[in-house]
Structure 1
Amino acid sequence: MTTNWTLTIDCADPALVARFWCTALGYTEADPPQGWDTWEDWLTDLNVPKDEWNDGASISDLNGVLPSISFLKVPEPRTVKNRLHLDLQVAGGRAVPQHLREQRIRATAETLIEAGATLVREIPMENSTTLDHLWMQDPEGNDFCVV
């Protein structure tokens, strides 16, 4: 039996990080729970104080197939390298010609840098100078790769 799951990313500014990941993944802001027209209505009905309204955010796959991702405001900053990260698989795999793979990786990275990401390092294929993937960080320093 499988277990339903979502991914939660701890951050200082959930709305900012959620917007970035919408761009990175092609996701959209999650709809409010069934029975409410807006998130503001839901928060108001649950008597959540307005100063807590940016304590969380959620995004979802437009097709409703892939897992949703939540963003939770936490007080402490990130202090160590992530042990878990996302790989954005944009190149098409090793069967695609290397020049096309690299073009796709770099085009995606450029879009993400414009959205607030930082390039950490270019990672070459083993025993080569040919690009394999890019190690990047989101606007709050969470690691991910563009492959």
Structure 2
Amino acid sequence: MAPRSSQVFNLTFDAADPARLARFWATALGYELEPPPDGFGSWEEALAAWNVPEDRWDSASAVIDPDGVLPRLFFQKVPEPKTAKNRVHLDVRAWRGDERAPAEHRELVDGKVAELVEAGATVVAPVDDLGSYWVVMLDPEGNEFCVT
């Protein structure tokens, strides 16, 4: 049996400004902007070589896990604005899996929230429910996500 790629799916976001949203989510998740294909020094060089009209160069962007394990996030330009609540959202974990005291967990969540506000996110509301703490946020285009 041939080995399977660790990236079994992309997660795609509709966006008004794909590059801006890609930069935000790279910051939020510790990802990096997807580099241009081999043989090209930049995406602009690749797009020009592929005869993509310049007015379409801002139609997509992507970010990748630097370790090549987690899914690629793809951002595609769409003409319509976001109009409804997400049915699926990402949870950005401020901690890395080891159990933490509630006060330390809150401190890590609040630190990540501050970093993401600086990157363009908006706080909707902190939630403290039965000993669990998270913060509901919006990315720069209004997509809901939580910091846990």
Fold shared by both chains (TM-score > 0.5): yes
CA distance in 1, matches of 2:70, 2:129: 29
Partner residue of 1:85? 89
Deviations 1:75-113, CA, capped at 9 Å, x for gaps: 011111101111011135583100000000000000100
TM-score, normalization: structure 2?
Answer: 0.90
Q: 1:92 to 1:43 in 2, by over 3 A?
A: closer
TM-score, normalization: structure 1?
Answer: 0.90
CA distance in 1, matches of 2:58, 2:52: 11
Secondary structure at the counterpart of residue 108 of structure 1: helix
Cα offset, 1:41, TM superposition: 1.6
Aligned-pair identity (%): 43
Unaligned runs of 5+ in 1: none
Number of equivalenced pairs? 144
* CA RMSD after TM alignment: 1.9
Q: 1:84 to 1:55 in 2, by over 3 A?
A: same
1:1-147 aligned within 5 A: 4-92=8-96, 95-126=99-130, 132-147=133-148
Unaligned runs of 5+ in 2: none
* Stretches (4+) displaced over 6 A: none
Secondary structure at the counterpart of residue 83 of structure 2: coil
Cα offset, 1:22, TM superposition: 1.0
Cα offset, 1:131, TM superposition: 5.5
